[in-house]
Amino acid sequence: MSETTLAPAPVEVQKGWGGQSVKRKEDKRLLQGEGVFVDDVKRHGMGYLHFVRSPYAHAHITRIDVSAAEAIDGVYGTLTGEEVAALTDPFFQISSAPGANIKDYALAVGKVRYVGEPVVAVVAETRELARDASELVEVDYEALPALVDARRAQDSDAPVLHEDAGGNLMWTGLYSWGDFDAALAEADRVVKIPELHFHRFNSTPLECDGALVEYNRGVGQWTIHTNNQFPGFAAIMMGPAMRTGLDKLRFVTQDIGGGFGNKITSHPQLVVCCLLARKLNRPVQWTEWRTDFHLSMSHGNERWFHDTEVAVKDDGTLLGFRTKALDDAGAWLRYEPLGGVIWAQVTPGMYRWRHIELDFTQVATNKAPVSPNRGYSRMQHLWFTERVIDIVARELDLDPVDVRKRNYIRAEDMPYETPNGCVYDSGDYAATLDLALQLIGYDSLAGRRADAEARGKRLGVGIGSTLDSGTNNFGQSQLINPELQFSGNNEVATVKLDIFGEIVVTLGTTPQGQGHETTAAQVVADILSCSPDDVHVRAGHDSYWNSHAGFSGTYASQFAVTGLSAVKGATEMLAAEIKKLAGAVFGGVPAEALELADGGVRIKDNPDAFLPFMACGAIINANNAGLPEDLDVTLNCRYVYRPPFEVPDVERKFGNLTLTYAVQIHVAVVEVDPETGSYEIVDYAAVDDCGKRINPQIVEGQVMGATAQALGAAVHETYEYDEDGNLLTPNFYDYHVPHALDMPPLATGAIESPSPFTPLGTKGMGEGGGAGIHAICAAIQDATGQIVTDSHNPYQRVWELMQQ
C-alpha cells in the first residue's frame, strides 16, 4: 500500500534537493543559442546528403541513372538501393512470420512502397547543390495500385506490398484472459460498438532527424553524431545489417530538439550516411527537411477496433470486453510489430474488469512506416477503453463519473495484478478524478451549461483517464516472437570524483528536453551532501564513455526509474569509496564514524578531521603513494540499474510488462457552435500522479507538453492520405500544430503515490497516456449527444455528427 498525498495542498518538501523545483542546469546554454544540436556539428570537407524520394505510393523501380547528377562539379557521389543491397543485409525483423519474411534495406530496392520513401542518396559540397543534383537523378517507375485503407489489406484483390510475406498481414495474435463467454452469460447487457478509429498523427519534434557521420578508415569505425534517441536499438539494427561489430559504431548525441519517440527509427538513414562516409572518404552530413519528416518518419499507429462487445451489469459494473484491433503499420516494420504487445501493458486500462479478449492484427499499407510516438500503442488502447466507458454510460443512461468510480481499480487493492499479470504499483484513481473535477469546477457545470445555451452554444464536459506505463520489460517482445532473446531492461551511470574534486556524472540517456542534467544532479547532491551546482552532468550520450547498456536511451517514460536509479547506485558507491579512503587517511576510522558534508568527508564528532572532495580526488588520482595496498578505491563508480523483472509466460501472454504505472486524469470543457461544428476548449484540468517527483516543475512541464500534444491531435493534427497514397498534410502549412492562441486555460494538479517498486519511489512519466485526446472526444459526445467514434474531431466532423 502506498501513501497518497493530495495536492494542490502543498506537498511536503523533503529535506534535501530531491522534491524541489531546482532551476534547470541546461537552460543557460540553450537560452543563449549555445546548445549543440546535430545540425550544428560541422567537419572540414563534409558533404551534404539529400535523398531522392519516391513520388509514387507503390511502384516498381525499372531504371536508375545517377550519371547526370554525378557529373556536376561539387557533387561528391551517390548511393542507390542496388549498392545498399550488395553492401548490407536486410534489417533484422522483430516480427515472427509472416512479417519476419520482409526484406527491409536502408534504401528502396526494386520497388517503392510509399510516397517519400528514400530511393537514392546524393552527397554534394553544399546543401543547395545536393538538392539540385537530386533533381537530375533519373528514376523510372512502373506504377502499381496503392493500398491506403488497412481495412482492405486482406481482401483477395488488395495490392500486395511485400511478396516475401505472401500478403499484407504482418503479425497477428489472440490475447485472451479470464473467460469472456462467462462474462457474457453473467451480464445484464451487452453493449456493441461496430467500429472505433484511432487516427494517424505524430508529435513532430521541431528539430527533424539528422546525423553527421565520420568514418575512420584506419580502424574501420564510424562516429555517428546524431539525434537518434535510442542508440541501443539503432546499434542492434545497424551492426548486423552493416556486417560490423557494435564497437565500430560510435554514437554521440548532445542536445536534441524534441524526440517523443519519433527519433527512434532513423537507423535506415544512418546506414546510408555510414555507407557514403566510407564510399566517399569524407564526413557526411544529413539534416532531414520538415516535408521529408512528415512524408517518411515515424507516424503514430493508426488503429481500428471492430465488433466490440462489452459485458456489463445494469448498475454499470463492467465485466469484460471483446474486440478486434486492426493496426496499420505503414510500409515497413521498423519498430513494429512491438505495438502489437505494448498496448497490453495497460490491458484493462484503469478498470477492474477481468474478462478480456483482443484479437490483434497488424497489416502493411502504402503509407509511411509507423514507429513509437508519445504514448506509443498504449494511447490507442487507452483511448479505446475510455471510449467504451463513455459509450456504455450513454447506453445505460449512467453518469460517466459514476461508471468510472464504480469500476476504477481501488487504492486499497494496490499493488494490483491485472488479468494479464501486469502489476499496477500504486495510485488512487478516484481521488485523482475528484481533484481533476474540483479543478474544473464540476459542481457549477449546470449553471455554465445554461449560460452556454443562452448564447446559442452547447457545453460538454469529458474525462480522459489514462496510465503512462514506464520502464519496459523487454521480455514482452517474446509475446510477439518467441525466438527473440530480449528481456528486462537496464540503464547505466558513472559518477566520479576528479583530480580537483569535480563531481562528474555520465549518463547513458539521450535527453530531449526532460532535464536529465538537473534531476541527476539533484539525486547526486542529496547523497554527497553538496549542491546540484557542484555536480557536472555530461550532456547526451557517447558510446565511448562506457556509460551505456543495451537499452540505453530516452524513450518510454523511464528516466526517473532507470536513469535516476543508476545515478543513485553509482553515487552511493562513490560515497562509500570516499568514506573508505577518508577512513584510511584518518588512520583506520570506520565508515560508520564518517559523514559527508559541506563538500567533503569528516569524522562525525570531530569537525576538524575534514577531508574536502578536492583532497580525495587528488589523493586517488595523483598522490597515491603510501596508500594501503588493499584499499580498493577508484572514486570512479559505474552502476547498472536492472529492474526486477521475470520473463513473461509466452503461452498465457502473462507477466509484468512495465515496472511503473503513472496516472493522468484530464477533464475538458468545450463549447460547441451547433451552426458550424466549431468548438472551443473553454476549461481544462490535468492531474498527474507519477509517484515521488524529483523536480515538480519539470514534471509539470511534461504534463503540459503531453496535454498540448493531445489537444493538437484531437482537434487538428492528422496524417491523411488520398486514394493514391499522397499525404495531404506534408508540412506545417497543412499539418496544423497548436499555437499559443490555441491553448485553453489550464489547471494542473498533482498527487504523489510513491512506487513501492523503485529505488526513489519515482515512476516514469512524460509520455502521458493521451488522456486529452479522449477528454475532447467525451466532451464532444456530451455536447452533441452523439456517439463519437473517431479520435480526431476537426470542426467539420463535429458538424457532421450533429447532422445525424
Partner 1 sequence: MEIAVTVNGQTYERDVEPRKLLIHFLRDDLDLTGSHIGCDTGNCGACSVIVDGVLLKSCMLLAVQANGTRIETVEGLSEDGELTRLQQAFNEHHALQCGYCTPGMLMSTTALLRENPSPSEDEIKKALQGNICRCTGYWNIVEAVKSVAK
The DSSP annotation for 642-656 comes to -------BTTTTBS-
In angstroms, how far is the first alpha carbon of the chain from the final one?
A: 48
Stretch that binds partner 1, among 29-37, 105-113, 401-409, 418-426 (CB under 8 A): 29-37
The DSSP annotation for 156-198 comes to TTSPPS-GGGTSSEEEEEEEEES-HHHHHHH-SEEEEEEEEEE
Stretch that binds partner 1, among 203-211, 381-389, 495-503, 546-554 (CB under 8 A): 203-211
Nearest to partner 1 of 534, 700 (CB atom): 700
For residue 86, state whether it binds partner 1 (rule: CB under 8 A): no
For residue 39, state whether it binds partner 1 (rule: CB under 8 A): yes
Footprint (CB under 8 A) of partner 1, residues 344-383: none
81, 258, 400, 677: which one binds partner 1 (CB under 8 A) = 258
Nearest to partner 1 of 149, 700 (CB atom): 700
Footprint (CB under 8 A) of partner 1, residues 761-800: none
3, 89, 128, 188: which one binds partner 1 (CB under 8 A) = 128
3-state secondary structure 450-471: HHHHHCCCEEEEEEEEEEEEEE
CB of 685 to partner 1, least distance (A): 13
Cβ proximity of 208 and 292 under 8 Å: yes
* Residue of 786, 724, 769 whose CA lies nearest to 146: 724
Angle at 108 between CA 105 and CA 114, to 5 degrees: 115
Determine the distance from the C-alpha atom of residue 357 to the mean position of all C-alpha atoms in its chain, rounded to a whole number.
26
Nearest to partner 1 of 622, 741 (CB atom): 741
The DSSP annotation for 571-602 comes to HHHHHHHHHHHHHHHTTS--GGGEEEETTEEE
Cβ proximity of 215 and 278 under 8 Å: yes
219, 454, 622, 740: which one binds partner 1 (CB under 8 A) = 740
CB of 70 to partner 1, least distance (A): 21
Cell numbers describing residue 770: 493521451
For 537, other C-beta atoms within 10 Å of its C-beta total: 23
Nearest to partner 1 of 42, 243 (CB atom): 42
| Cα–Cα distance, 520 to 22 (Å, whole number) | 11
For residue 733, state whether it binds partner 1 (rule: CB under 8 A): yes
| Cα–Cα distance, 281 to 215 (Å, whole number) | 7
For residue 192, state whether it binds partner 1 (rule: CB under 8 A): no
Footprint (CB under 8 A) of partner 1, residues 272-301: 287, 289-291
For residue 44, state whether it binds partner 1 (rule: CB under 8 A): no
CB of 24 to partner 1, least distance (A): 7
* Residue of 663, 665, 669, 664 whose CA lies nearest to 441: 669
Footprint (CB under 8 A) of partner 1, residues 699-718: 700-702, 704-705, 707-709
Cell numbers describing residue 229: 534517441
For residue 206, state whether it binds partner 1 (rule: CB under 8 A): yes
For residue 226, state whether it binds partner 1 (rule: CB under 8 A): no
For residue 743, state whether it binds partner 1 (rule: CB under 8 A): yes
Only one residue has cell 550516411, namely 273
697, 786, 790, 794: which one binds partner 1 (CB under 8 A) = 697
DSSP character at residue 301: P
CB of 39 to partner 1, least distance (A): 7
Q: In what order do the strands lie in the sheet with 535-537?
A: 535-537, 503-507, 491-497, 636-641
Q: Number of residues interacting with partner 1: please give it, by CB under 8 A.
A: 59
| Cα–Cα distance, 559 to 567 (Å, whole number) | 10
| Cα–Cα distance, 360 to 342 (Å, whole number) | 12
Only one residue has cell 536509479, namely 565
CB of 111 to partner 1, least distance (A): 28
Nearest to partner 1 of 82, 700 (CB atom): 700
For residue 37, state whether it binds partner 1 (rule: CB under 8 A): yes
Nearest to partner 1 of 70, 700 (CB atom): 700
Paired with 466 in beta bridges are 664
For residue 135, state whether it binds partner 1 (rule: CB under 8 A): no
DSSP character at residue 563: I
One character per residue 502-541, x = contact with partner 1 (rule: CB under 8 A): ----------xxxx--------------------------
CB of 500 to partner 1, least distance (A): 22
83, 104, 117, 255: which one binds partner 1 (CB under 8 A) = 255
Buried b (16+ CB within 10 A) or exposed e, 484-495: bebbbbbbbbbb
For residue 208, state whether it binds partner 1 (rule: CB under 8 A): yes
For residue 728, state whether it binds partner 1 (rule: CB under 8 A): no
Is the alpha carbon torsion for 271, 276, 281, 282 positive or negative?
negative
Nearest to partner 1 of 644, 745 (CB atom): 745
Cell numbers describing residue 748: 494542473
CB of 61 to partner 1, least distance (A): 26
Cβ proximity of 154 and 306 under 8 Å: no
CB of 748 to partner 1, least distance (A): 9
2, 726, 731, 786: which one binds partner 1 (CB under 8 A) = 731
Nearest to partner 1 of 259, 348 (CB atom): 259
For residue 42, state whether it binds partner 1 (rule: CB under 8 A): yes
Q: Strand 535-537 vs strand 111-112: parallel, antiparallel, or unpaired? A: unpaired
Is the alpha carbon torsion for 513, 519, 520, 525 positive or negative?
positive
215, 260, 486, 799: which one binds partner 1 (CB under 8 A) = 260
Q: Classify residue 770 as left (phi > 0), alpha (psi -120 to 50) or beta.
A: left
For residue 741, state whether it binds partner 1 (rule: CB under 8 A): yes
For residue 56, state whether it binds partner 1 (rule: CB under 8 A): no
Judged by the rule CB under 8 A, the positions of this chain that interact with partner 1 are 21, 23-24, 26-28, 30-37, 39-40, 42, 126-128, 203-208, 255-258, 260, 287, 289-291, 512-515, 697-698, 700-702, 704-705, 707-709, 731-733, 737-741, 743, 746
